[in-house]
Structure 1
Amino acid sequence: MPELLFYQRPTVLNKETHKALRFLPVKDFGFTSKVNSVPLLAIEFFESSRDLPVLFSQDSEGSFFPIVLLSLKNQGHEQIDESGRWLGNYTPAFIRRYPFVLSGDKNVCFDADYVGLADLEGEGELLFADDGAYTDTLTKIIEFVTNFEAEHVRTREFCQAASEQDVFKPFVLQVVTADKKPLRLDGLFIIDEKKLMALADEVVTAWFRKGYLAWAYAHLHSLGSLQRLSEKLDTRS
Structure 2
Amino acid sequence: MSELLFYRGLVALHRESHRNLKFSPCSNYRFSIAVNSVPLTGVEFFEASRDLPILFSCSDAKRYSPLALLSLSNHGHGLVDEEGRWRGSYVPAFIRRYPFAMKDGETVCIDFEASHFSEEEGEPLFDDRGENSKALNEILRFLEHYEASCERTREFCRQLSAAGLFKPFNIQVIAGNGKPVRLDGLYVIDEARLRDVDQEQVYRLFKSGELAWIYAHLHSLGALKGLAKRQEQDVALGQAKEKAQTGALN
Structure 2 residue 95 is matched with structure 1 residue 82: no
Q: Any idea what the Cα deviations from partners look like across 1:143-173, whole Å, max 9, x if unmatched?
A: 1111111110000000000001111111113
Q: Tell me how far apart the structure 1 counterparts of residues 68 and 105 of structure 2 sit (CA, whole Å).
A: 27
Q: Which moved more, 1:226-235 or 1:71-80?
A: 226-235
Partner of 2:109: 109
* Change beyond 3 A, Cα 1:178–1:128: closer
> Contact 1:74/1:185 (CA < 8 Å) preserved in 2?
no
Task: Give 1:75 shift.
Answer: 1.5
Matched, 1:73 2:64: no
1:11 to partner: Cα distance: 0.8
Counterpart selection for 1:198 from 192, 196, 199: 196
Cα gap change, 1:154 to 1:179, in 2 (>3 Å):
closer
SS of the equivalent of 1:11 reads strand
For the Cα contact (< 8 Å) 1:102–1:109, is it kept in 2?
yes
Aligned pairs for 1:89-104 within 5 A: 89-104=89-104
- Once residues 202 and 226 of structure 1 are traced to their aligned partners in structure 2, the CA distance between those partners, rounded to angstroms, is 33
Bigger Rg over Cα:
2
User: Given the superposition, is the C-alpha separation of residues 199 and 33 from structure 1 closer, same or farther in structure 2, using an over 3 Å criterion?
Assistant: same
Alignment of 1:27-42 (within 5 A): 27-42=27-42
State the shift of 1:61 in Å. 1.8
Q: 2:165 aligns with which of 164, 167, 172?
A: 167
Contact 2:176 2:228 in 1 (8 A): no
The question of whether the paired residues in 2 share the 8 Å contact of 1:168 and 1:190 is answered with yes
Mapped to 2, the partners of 1:33 and 1:87 lie a distance apart of 12
- In 1, distance between residues paired with 2:210 and 2:174? 34
Q: Which residue of structure 2 aligns with residue 208 of structure 1?
A: 206
Residue in structure 1 matched with residue 48 of structure 2 by the alignment: 48
CA distance in 1, matches of 2:130, 2:19: 7
The 8 Å contact of residues 191 and 216 in structure 1, kept in 2 or not, is answered as: yes
Aligned residues: percent identity?
48
Alpha-carbon spacing, 1:140–1:160, altered in 2? closer, same or farther (3 Å): same
Greater shift after overlay, 171-180 or 110-119?
171-180
Q: 1:93 to 1:179 in 2, by over 3 A?
A: closer
Q: Residue in 2 aligned with 1:229?
A: 227
Q: Scaled by the length of structure 1, what TM-score is found?
A: 0.93
- CA gap of 1:150–1:178, structure 2 versus 1, over 3 A, is closer
C-alpha spacing 1:142/1:178, structure 2 compared with 1 (3 Å) = closer
Distance 1:107 1:86, change over 3 A: same
Q: 1:44 to 1:177 in 2, by over 3 A?
A: closer
- Paired with 1:83 and 1:23, the residues of 2 have a C-alpha distance of 20
**C-alpha distance in 1, partners of 2:109/2:177?**
44
- Looking at structure 2, the residues matched to 224 and 100 of structure 1 have their Cα atoms a distance apart, in angstroms, of 32
Give 1:178 deviation, angstroms.
6.1
The number of residue pairs the alignment matches comes to 233
Deviations for 1:6-58, whole angstroms, at most 9, x for unmatched residues? 21111111111111111011322112111111010000000001111111111
1:156 alignment partner AA: R
Determine the structure 2 residue equivalent to 1:143: 141
Number of the residue aligned with 1:21: 21
Cα 1:231–1:18 shift into 2, 3 Å:
same
Q: CA deviation at 1:180?
A: 4.4
Instruction: Choose between structure 1 and 2: higher helix proportion.
Output: 2
Distance 2:165 2:105 in 1: 33
Relative distance call for 1:13 and 1:178 in structure 2 (3 A) is closer
CA distance in 2, matches of 1:166, 1:27: 40
Code of the aligned partner of 1:14: H
Contact 2:26 2:116 in 1 (8 A): yes
CA 104–231 in structure 1, closer or farther in 2 if over 3 Å, else same: same
Task: Describe the shift of the 1:200–1:141 C-alpha distance in structure 2 as closer, same or farther (beyond 3 A).
Answer: same
Alpha-carbon offset, residue 88 of structure 1: 1.1
